[in-house]
Amino acid sequence: MDRPVIRPSTPFGPRRPLLCAATALALVTGGLSAAAAAGPATVGEQVAKNSDCFSCHAVDHRVVGPAFDAVAAKYAGKPGAKTLLMNAVKNGHVGTWGQIPMPAHPKLSPQQLDEVITWVLSLKPAASAKSGAAAATAAAAKTYSYQVEGKPVLLNFPVFQAGGKKVTPAVFRGFELFNSYCFRCHGVDATGSEYAPDLRKSVINGMTEAKMTDIAMTGIKAKGMPSWAGFFDPKQLGEIYQYVAARAYKLVDEGTPPQ
Ligand code: HEC
Ligand code: HEC
């Protein structure tokens, strides 16, 4: 591949040509510009994004699988960790972090496995755990209060857009996703059916977003509840949760919510 022409008048100094080369490479390979320009660690992150990793993992908290920074902490300084983890992802694994198995990833090349594990092991547990905790505290501190039938309902996410009766885009997407994928068994507009529980009751009885995400990712195969891992990411399941919770607390009626 040709190197880009370096203009003598460039104000960026000696690092400029390197960045240009990386960007040009990214344009050729397609869609990787930010990752390639930022170095090998984020190339691995891009592999994770292009595969199904983030449907079960997050960087700083457990989803179905362990937090990636917890994996980095567990294997820090252990000889052979990289090979062990590459094999775990390639062949599938169970038992180290619990009884839920990770599926095999036969389509990832040795290079992609190397890149993604290099990235996972590069994560700084202390720093991201701290920012994760800080984010969690900030999220917990932020509550939204609504009056329903004269009683206050406290939620840690907004149901409505500022100053109006229109629901947030997240709640609206939750409505769309629910009525595309969950309604068949859990009833149109989360009203329940003979096939599956009324998820509004699950929320009223204390089901958190994390718990619902966990169940939806894992599925309950023996009882006919499918696993949505690889199909939805945690953010989308969070949107479904927000819609179901809004319905549970009677903030949103049956039918299309105002948007
Ligand atoms: C369907 C859910 C699921 C998907 C998809 C998934 N994982 Fe996992 N992952 C898990 C679970 C569950 C575990 C815990 C396995 C265990 O206890 O040994 C795990 C464990 C791991 C571990 C630690 C293994 C060990 O031996 O300690 C790494 C590293 C990992 N996953 C990376 C990845 C990467 C990279 C991808 C994407 C290419 C990925 N996972 C996709 C569920 C998943
Ligand atoms: C093919 C039918 C089917 C579909 C589609 C389906 N579910 Fe389920 N789901 C079930 C069944 C059946 C159960 C009850 C399993 C049991 O008895 O333990 C269940 C249980 C659950 C539970 C546990 C409820 C509780 O109180 O324990 C959650 C959460 C859940 N489903 C979420 C979802 C979400 C979110 C979707 C859409 C993305 C979805 N389900 C789509 C059949 C389905």
The per-residue pLDDT for 184 is 92
Quote the CA–CA distance of 36 and 23 in Å, as a whole number.
7
In this predicted model, what pLDDT tens digit does every residue of 205-239 receive, in sequence order?
999 999 999 999 989 988 999 999 889 999 999 99
Distant-in-sequence, close-in-space partners of 183: CB < 8 Å, separation ≥ 6? 189, 190
Per-residue pLDDT reduced to its tens digit, 242-258: 999 999 999 999 999 99
The alpha carbon of 116 and the centre of ligand 2 are apart by a number of angstroms equal to: 32
Residue 170 CA to ligand 1 center (angstroms) comes to 28
> What does the pLDDT average to over 154-163?
89
| Ligand 1 centroid from CA 135, angstroms | 24
Helix axis angle, 234-248 to 209-218, nearest 10°: 120
Q: CATH assignment of 143-248, given 3.40.50.800, 1.10.760.10, 1.20.210.10, 3.50.50.60?
A: 1.10.760.10
For residue 147, list its beta bridge partners. 152
Q: Length of the chain, please?
A: 259
Residue nearest to atom 19 of ligand 2 (CA): 225
Fold agreement (39-132, 143-248): yes
Is the separation of the CB atoms in 66 and 53 below 8 Å?
A: no
Q: Using alpha carbons only, give the angle 154, 158, 164 rounded to the nearest 5 degrees.
A: 110
> What tokens appear for 154 in the block?
């406290």
List strand residue ranges (DSSP E) for 105-208, in order. Answer: 144-148, 151-155
* Cα 93 from Cα 237, distance rounded (Å): 24
Q: Rounded to the nearest 5°, which phi and psi values hold at 161? A: -75, 155
Q: Which pLDDT does position 40 carry in this prediction?
A: 58
Report for 5-14, 48-57, 169-178: range of highest mean pLDDT:
169-178
Give the mean model confidence (pLDDT) for residues 144-156: 86
Instruction: For the domain made up of 39-132, give the CATH fold.
Output: Cytochrome Bc1 Complex; Chain D, domain 2 (1.10.760)
Give the model confidence (pLDDT) of 104-142 as tens digits: 999 999 999 999 999 999 998 654 444 444 455 544 457
Indicate the DSSP class of residue 61.
Answer: S
| Domain ranges within the chain, ordered by starting residue | 39-132, 143-248
65 Cβ inside 6 Å of ligand 1: yes
Name the 3-class secondary structure at 10: coil
The answer, yes or no, to whether residue 29 has pLDDT greater than 70, is no
pLDDT of residue 12: 36
Binning pLDDT at 50, 70 and 90, where does residue 62 land? confident
Query: Which ligand has the nearest atom to the CA of 202?
Result: 2
Q: Is the CB of 43 under 6 A from ligand 1?
A: no
